[in-house]
Amino acid sequence: MELKRVVITGLGALTPLGHSVATSWQGLTSGVSGADKITLFDTGKFKTKFACELKNFNPVDYLDKKEARKIDRFTQTALIASDQAVADAKIDRNSVNVDRVGVIHASGIGGLITLCDELKAFYTGDGTPRFSPFFIPKMILDIAAGHISMRHGFRGPNFAVVSACASSTNALIEALNYVRLGKADIILAGGSESVINEAGVGGFNAMRAISERNDDPATASRPFDLDRDGFVMGEGAGCLVVEELEHALKRGAHIYAELAGGGASADAHHMTAPHPEGLGALSVMEGALADAGMDPGDIDYINVHGTSTPLGDIAEVKAIQHVFGDAAYRLNISSTKSMTGHLLGAAGAVEAICCILAIRDGIVPPTINHFTDDPQFDPRLNFTFNQAQQREVRAALSNTFGFGGHNASVIFKKYVS
């Protein structure tokens, strides 16, 4: 069976750097940090008091007030990002077969804010169950995909993907396979996450996973730096229109890039820690290259998982050097989490957009907040420290790895007819 070619024809995003793709990309290429003191709850008793929140976000600026009240923040951002992507792709539901347009939308955690709010209300009340009728529909992971399909009238494949921080990359891989196997013409694929609340911050604090650099939040996310002390929580959403090439050409769609391939693997090692030699990361990058029919030398840029954790950054770089060999020294490597924070289940979608725009504009966003070299890293590698770099990007690879040992990678390349 001959696989169909798959392209990206629309983008949407809300990130801590902006409420659109354009504003987010401007912040990324300018090296802006999205980290600041948390405003969403009182952090007085918490070890970490900062995060990368969506700045000045009010859902009713984008959604009907009644509609916004019925959905969790992770679904609100999902809907807004999907609106942007559909508009960007110029999809007219009256001129496409809506039975062949699907939605695969991911989240690592889902409606944690709703869950906590409902339980707090219950336990501070008189013990009589007075849960909102929207409690369960607001909380469950799949609901964002459902709301996106209802909003746009898309009746194709519709489901959620969850693999922790690899979730939305896995959603992109699922979309790729549905489209290239001819099971759909278009899939809206992406992810959203909003868990900057007491449970989210308290839980990650208890794991010692997030930074406690409260004296200087803007520089707290420092991947590959000697003094990195954990990731910075972020929130937001990303949505990509994944479309079969001939279908896109027939309707005159703008093509950003080709989605060339993807890979998935498991560390099979530890509940939260990566394999120390990066074996799962090694395997997933090799799988993505094989799926795309590409060689290591074909890749110019890797948007790494790069969360700013002591163990994770080292394991990923070991894997990159093993897979790419001498070609690793010709790569640009960068972690945009140094600016957006870690968007958890939404990270893969937002970072995929970064790869696509790097291809489009010939610019690699930086890894900011680098102050002190870590001698564990080969100094010949180009981590794109502190300042964006201009170069031709023919193809870019995006890595995302999740708790549970879930690994996913996708490759985008410049579209050539």
342 noted as active-site residue: yes
Select which of 19, 305, 370, 406 is catalytic: 305
Output the pLDDT for position 271: 81
Render pLDDT for 172-209 as a digit per residue (tens, 0 to 9).
999 999 999 999 999 999 999 999 999 999 999 999 99
| Same domain, residue pair 316 and 171 | no
Do 289 and 246 lie in one domain? The reply is no
Helices (H), 107-152: 112-123, 135-139, 143-152
- Same domain, yes or no: 193 and 242: yes
Catalytic residue among 19, 105, 147, 165: 165
pTM more than 0.95: yes
Catalytically annotated residue among 247, 342, 370, 406: 342
User: What does the pLDDT read at residue 372?
Assistant: 98
| CA–CA dist 207, 186 (Å, integer) | 39
Distances 22 to 161, 340, 349, 359 between C-alpha atoms, Å: 27, 14, 15, 15
Q: Which of 203, 223, 250 is at the close of a domain?
A: 250
Decide if 1 is inside a domain: no
Is pLDDT of 276 > 90? no
Is there a domain that residue 97 lies in?
yes
Supply the CATH number for residue 331's domain: 3.40.47.10
Please report the pLDDT score of residue 125 as a whole number. 82
Give the tens place of pLDDT for each residue, 40-49. Answer: 999 999 999 9
243 and 308 within one domain: no
Give the mean pLDDT of 108-114. Answer: 97
Q: What is the pLDDT of residues 309-352, one digit of tens each?
A: 999 999 999 999 999 999 999 999 999 999 999 999 999 999 99
Assess whether 65 and 117 both reside in one domain.
Answer: yes
Number of domains in the chain: 2
Would the pLDDT of 77 be above 80? yes
Give the mean pLDDT of the chain: 96
Percent of the chain, pLDDT > 70? 100
Which of 227, 250, 273 is the last residue in one of the domains? 250
Q: The tokens of 1 are what?
A: 């069976």
Do 236 and 298 lie in a common domain? Answer: no
Q: Are residues 200 and 313 in the same domain?
A: no
Alpha-helical runs (H) found in 207-296: 245-250, 279-292
Is 270 in the active site? no
Is the same domain home to 354 and 392? Answer: yes
- Residue 123: which domain range? 7-250
* Tens of pLDDT, residues 379-396: 999 999 999 999 999 999
Domain assignment present for residue 179? The answer is yes
Residue 127 has a pLDDT of 79
Q: What pLDDT shows up at residue 116?
A: 96
Does residue 105 have an active-site annotation?
A: no
Q: Are 255 and 415 in contact (CB under 8 A)?
A: yes
